[in-house]
Structure 1
Amino acid sequence: MKNWLLIIVVYAASVGPLWAADVLLIESYHKEYGWDESYIRGLENTLGDDVTLHTFEMDTKRLPKTDYDSQADKAFAMYQQVAPDVVVLGDDNALSYMLPRLQNEDIDIVFLGINANPRRLMAKYSGKARVTGVLERPLFVRSMQEVKQMLGKDKLIVKIMFDAGTTSTIATDHIGKQYQSLKNKLGIDATIENHETFDAWKASVNSSDGYDIIVVGLYQIIRDSDGNVVDPNKVLAWTNQHSAIPLFGFWDFSVGKGQTAGGVVLFGESQGVQAGEYVNRILAGEEASSISVIHGKQGRAIYSGAEFTRWGLNAPNGWRNID
């Protein structure tokens, strides 16, 4: 009888918590944003049925930076109210603003979608909180190599465009360092840009003579002349309609008819799944600090059949048509 009880306890610990658990997700952005929508789906599909997922949206893609601290204070107040078993921090702003507030709490934290190096932040705020998570890196090298081969170019001349938000500036710094160290080997000539305004973004798209492709990175914090954030769908649709050369992307939500043509892209859902698996392990008895920080799973090569037809492109073997 004792052996059977031991087996039941070990099995239960391997699949999830033995009690109803509360998990608080603090999003850097908002639930309607394609990335958040995707990783939340991954989280929800991975967490056990006895887990209640609470969410707080910091909304930092739409609110001005002067509001970030007050949003973080509100998120901390919700943390105190919910008293969760685990906190999930989605993307760079949530980690950088919430870890200082949570560092002395007796709590396990799992982050996802982090472009910055989290170890410096973790070392600076190394209190009682236990932290692990999943890193996110744009797949610059692999994506550009596959596009270069697809287009049959000895040298690919590419313009990479981002907005000027926190995640974008971190991502462009990461890509820039990769490019500088590998450009002579890759056969790629890249110009990497961050734009604050829609007028500047439009001017860049319209002055792309001599480039083979444009890669659209993140475009969710492009502002109009009054300082208001332009609807990201409008930014991408305008770019699609006015670009004289093919568009490619680094994230899955930017690929599709009327958007970018394709790329080796990151999927928010896979980040949510990996973070959810970490949460399950913590709820089953492991501490976050004993679980290794990992890079997200490698991206997938996808394309829009409609956009490839428009540009006269032939998809390489292994690329999946999403139309």
Structure 2
Amino acid sequence: MDRFASMQAYVKVVELGSFSAAARQLRLSPAMVTRHVSQLEDKVGARLLNRTTRHLSTTAAGQSYFERCLSILAAIDDAEAEAGKVTQSARGTLRITAPAEFGDTHLSRLISRFLDLHPDVDMFLEFSNRQVDLVQDGFDLALRVARTLDGSLIGRRLARSHFRVVAGPDYIERHGEPETPEDLTRHVFLAFSVPSPWVNLAFECDGNRVEIRLQPRILSTSAETLNRLALNGSGIAVLPTFVCGGDIAAGRLVTLLPNHDAGALNLHVLYPHKRFLPARTRLFVDYLVETLGSDPDRDPWCKSGG
């Protein structure tokens, strides 16, 4: 059997903790995956995995061999990536997951140009707000937008997106403009509802922190829906610039409390392993950095950049 294919099968079994899960991702039968691992054990003369009916784990030798396999596979992929740089091409299917609002509004446009540059790359896209396990779900990379991120995840920060307090001009004309965060309690508020309702807001101004609690009239799982409601004059919303920045720039939304900092989200690109990345994945990460700018503290959806 192909030693390279056997190493790939073994790595996938360890990552997923299951022969059947590895078989599904590799599009092989469980029996074939088992044969690959057994061949490696015969070759090295040591048991690599402890198997029970309910649990699978690496032996001491198996863990060391797993790490070496990662290095070997990464070295092979590095060679392919270098060749890809020479030919300016990449191949295969790139599986990407991203938040629905960011994917629909921004990532889809970025993807179109990337596919033009790399005609041999196909894509599978999942735009949703569910938390995806990259390894278990078989994704090459994920875009995540969050205030903070689990430090165990591998990737890099690409940009920042600041929160803005916004409303449509007709709403301001009918209800007036709040001058302080406390004034928001007297207005119709539109709030995001996941992972829990955004009813507690914090602002900073001139070194002072102000916290308020609001009673939203409308709760939604969709930031895009809240943005449309604000455009229609239904109330005031606190939205990230990657959602509302274009409407602010066009004058369709008004920024309220401009001297009060409502915080920011960070845009990250995440991938399963730091080194073991297909050339198509590396090229797409480089493309995102190039497109969004090399400064991860910059807000590319804000005209002032901050």
Same fold by TM (over 0.5)? no
What range is the shorter-chain TM-score in?
A: 0.3 to 0.5
TM-score computed with the length of structure 1 as normaliser:
0.39
TM-score computed with the length of structure 2 as normaliser:
0.41
Task: Work out which of the two has the higher radius of gyration on C-alpha atoms and give 1 or 2.
Answer: 2
